Amino acid sequence: MATKIKVPLTKEEKRDHMLRRILLFCLLGSLCVLFVELIDRAYTVEYHRAFDILYIVFAVVMLIEAVFRIFRHSAKEGFLDYLKFDKAEFLWLVTCPVVLACASLIPEMAGWRWLVALKMPNVFGRYNDEKVFEIIVEISAVILILIFVLPFFNLVAVAISRPGQTVNLLPKDIDFWGVKYAITDKDFLASFKNSIFITAAGTVGSVAVVALAAYPLSKPHMPLKRTMMMFFMIVMYFGGGMAPMIVLMNHLHLMDTIWAMIIPGWMSVYNMLLMKGFFESLPPELEEAAKMDGASNMYVFCKIVLPLAKPMVATIAFFQVVGYWNNYGSALLYISSRKDLYPVPNFIRNFMGMSPQSVSGLNPTLATYWNNVEKSYLLFSIIPIMCLYPFVFRFIKGGLATGAVKG
């Protein structure tokens, strides 16, 4: 195995390397500051002032680096040569101080500070260090994770805190009254059972329909295969929308029934194509050997093909579980008088549409803990999906990778 020989850097190269690292750090730092201010406007004035000072320091460092680069390049190649290759950076350097000064003095122009992000392509174009790129990817991943995790922590903190307090990420004066009310509310428990039944029946039915449709279409010598695939693609891209499904449910006398929220989601052409791609990747010798031993097509499908397709089945099942569990529109379309059939999303939406004053006479305590109960409902609606994901994650990775490869 060949070993890499490290060539020692000259003093000028080390200086340039350090300057680029400082510039990159300042750019990412200023963007992080802007991002923090963007997602939480509830900070105190002193907090915002500290962020503003930190941001100005970052911006000044980047301006100094740009000016330094102009003089260094102009001394070697001339200023015209610099303009020839770095017009964008020069334009940024000319406009940035004016815009940043106005943004610092005029509150209405605070959003213009995002102008600093325009230097990012210039920095990345001049900096091709793999380690730094990995650091950028990791920082981006952490930021994305925080975008999804922080609201969940806020949800938990508000749900278990005493009412009337400003809560961000940590609970204050822990009080579980809202959580206890949510888990004992008969209407919420009924909607929870509806969601469980809709999700379970919809997922099982969808996986069965998709697998039965994809298996014959994965065979190269199936009659009318091209015609059927064309039909599925036309349906996928040029569907009739919701109106045909409403008419169909009405003719089947399924309106105002729980099955109206289940059956329309059984067939997904996208999932069928994923499953078809997975079936095509399986070795045909396995089926041929089973048929030589006298196995029927259904036996081969149920006992050989489906067990091998566990990653894809788990992937599609998880997609359907998330879709059915979070489905809010089906109940609005198909349920008009049977409010007792509403799933969790519709129950929570109806609860959020009410006001504490409407129940203050019947239940003053509920009116006091209104926000806590609302967040408790949301929390319990998220937990099932969070608990399911770790069990199917390893199947999802393999399923998507294999289903995307055509055999």
pLDDT exceeds 50 at position 1: no
Asked whether residue 50 falls in the same domain as residue 186, the answer is no
Is there a single domain that holds both residue 158 and residue 212?
no
The mean of the pLDDT values for the chain is 78
Q: Residues 281-306: pLDDT tens digits?
A: 888 888 888 888 888 888 888 888 88
**pTM for the model:** 0.66
Q: CA-based Rg of the chain, rounded to a whole angstrom? A: 30
**Sequence-separated (6 or more) residues with CB below 8 Å from residue 397:** none
Please check whether residues 144 and 187 belong to one and the same domain.
Answer: no
Bridge partners of residue 161, in order along the sequence = 174
User: Are the C-beta atoms of residues 47 and 61 closer than 8 Å to each other?
Assistant: no
Q: Kindly state whether residues 355 and 381 are assigned to the same domain.
A: yes
111 vs 98, higher pLDDT: 98
- Domain identity same for 41 and 94: yes
**pLDDT tier, 404 (very low <50, low <70, confident <90, very high otherwise):** very low
Check if the beta carbon of residue 29 is closer than 8 Å to that of residue 60: no
Q: Do 219 and 110 fall into the same domain? A: no
Q: Is residue 225 part of a domain?
A: yes
What percent of the chain is predicted at pLDDT more than 90? 10
pLDDT, tens only, 73-96: 777 777 777 666 667 677 777 777
Inside any domain, residue 5:
no
**Per-residue DSSP letters for 248-294?**
HHHHTT-TTSGGGGTGGGS--HHHHHHHHHHHHHS-HHHHHHHHHTT
More confident residue, 30 or 280: 280
pLDDT at 206: 93
Print the domain residue range for 234. 177-403
Q: Cα–Cα distance between 35 and 87 in angstroms, integer?
A: 28
User: 124 falls in which pLDDT band (50, 70, 90)?
Assistant: low
- Cα 264 to the center of its chain, rounded Å: 24
Q: What pLDDT band is residue 195 in, cutting at 50, 70 and 90?
A: very high
Q: Quote the CA–CA distance of 376 and 362 in Å, as a whole number.
A: 21
pLDDT at 202 over 70: yes
Does 399 map to a domain? yes
189 domain-assigned: yes
Per-residue pLDDT at 248: 85
- Residues 321, 182, single domain; the answer is yes
Q: How far apart are CA 400 and CA 278, in angstroms?
A: 9
The pLDDT value recorded for residue 156 is 86
Q: How far apart are CA 153 and CA 389, in angstroms?
A: 18
Residue 309 has pLDDT above 50, yes or no: yes
CA dihedral angle for residue 304, residue 307, residue 312, residue 316, rounded to 10 degrees: 110
User: Per residue in 157-187, pLDDT tens?
Assistant: 888 888 877 777 777 788 888 888 888 889 9
Q: What is the mean pLDDT of residues 327-347?
A: 89
Q: Give per-residue pLDDT as tens, 59-72.
A: 777 777 777 777 77
Q: Is residue 384 part of a domain?
A: yes
**Same domain? 107 vs 255:** no
Tokens of 257: 């029934």
